[in-house]
Amino acid sequence: MKKLSRYATSAGPRWMLDGQPLVASFTLAELLRQPASTLSDWLARRRDDAASGIQAQTVLPPIEPLQEVWASGVTYLRSRDARKAESSVADVYQKVYEAERPELFMKAVGWRVVTGGQPVRIRKDSQWNVPEPELTLVINTHGEIVGYTAGNDMSSRDIEGENPLYLPQAKIYTGACALGPEIVLVDAEAMRALTVTLEIRRNGAVVFSGETNIARMKRRLEELVSYLYRELDFPDGTFLMTGTGIVPPESFSLQPGDQVKISVGAVTLENDVA
């Protein structure tokens, strides 16, 4: 399993493959312009065998500033039921769960994304907030799924529940999108039965934990990607969150200081809540 990660070094950001530096000119955008069939060979030629003494300092989000993060909604029964319960217009969620066209929305541009060890935020004007642990696809220019990472689609349930048209405010704000820390380079087949877990700690004690599996998702990963690529081109590739199958009970809301731990397959994303 190949893992891509990005670090701050004294010479600027540097991508690594399984902890070994790639050439300084390597960009994720260039990787995502390669067809999936040639990716392994192409990547092998990007190793920097001459690199020595590179001190990886802080881990950086595994995304470049101009790539976008899109998100899917209501792809699991649990998400549909939670939205129906919170919403003043419950039937929109029932309809989108059953419809042929999925719910897709833009979550963040790359420069807004945080990664493990950096804080996620809850909005000051919201009283009911949750993390959403989501398998996040890494997709190339040609619409092929080439990898995945862990994602947190932080959400304000009271704002979304008041009116579905407030969804962008419930979902898009500073510190609302966490990804990483690594990208696992595998095809969609390897993702079909990944386990997703969520654990929330407060003052050292676990206050919520949950688990689901990608096999429980109503839609196929390729179906979500094909709708996203219908009328949008992604010259640098893109990321797609695939929806949450874990929602804490209605009585639960995140608080500043909580610690959120999300695992998706082989990737574990940990953030404190600010």
> Closest by alpha carbon to 74, among 64, 65, 61, 84?
84
State the nearest-atom distance from the C-beta of 37 to Mg ion, in Å.
31
What is the footprint of ligand DO4 within residues 234-273 (CB under 6 A)? 243-244
- Residue 83 lies near ligand DO4 (rule: CB under 6 A): yes
- Among Mg ion, ligand DO4, none, the one that 115 touches (CB under a kind-dependent 5 to 8 A) is none
**Interacting residue ranges for Mg ion, rule: CB under 5 A:** 132, 153, 244
> Closest by alpha carbon to 153, among 72, 59, 258?
72
Q: Give 49 or 100: the residue with its C-beta nearer to ligand DO4.
A: 100
Could you tell me which stretch among 18-26, 62-70, 75-83, 184-192 binds ligand DO4 (CB under 6 A)? 75-83
- Among ligand DO4, Mg ion, none, the one that 62 touches (CB under a kind-dependent 5 to 8 A) is none
- Among ligand DO4, Mg ion, none, the one that 74 touches (CB under a kind-dependent 5 to 8 A) is ligand DO4
Nearest residue to ligand DO4 on Cβ basis: 73
- CA torsion sign, 226 to 153 to 259 to 83? negative
State the nearest-atom distance from the C-beta of 19 to Mg ion, in Å.
31
Tell me, by CB under 6 A, how many residues bind ligand DO4: 12
- Residue 152 lies near ligand DO4 (rule: CB under 6 A): no
What is the footprint of ligand DO4 within residues 110-149 (CB under 6 A)? 132
State the nearest-atom distance from the C-beta of 11 to ligand DO4, in Å.
38
Crossing angle (nearest 10°) for helices 91-98 and 77-86: 160
3-state secondary structure 50-107: CCCCCCCCCEECCCCCCCEEEEEECCCHHHHHHHHHHCCCCHHHHHHHHCCCCEEEEE
> What does the buried/exposed string (b/e) look like for 141-161 if buried means 16 or more CB atoms within 10 Å of the residue's CB?
bebbbbbbbbbbbbbbbbbbb
Q: Are 208 and 129 in contact (CB under 8 A)?
A: no
- State both tokens at 254: 């995140």
List interacting residues with ligand DO4 (CB under 6 A).
Answer: 71, 73-75, 79, 83, 103, 132, 153, 167, 243-244
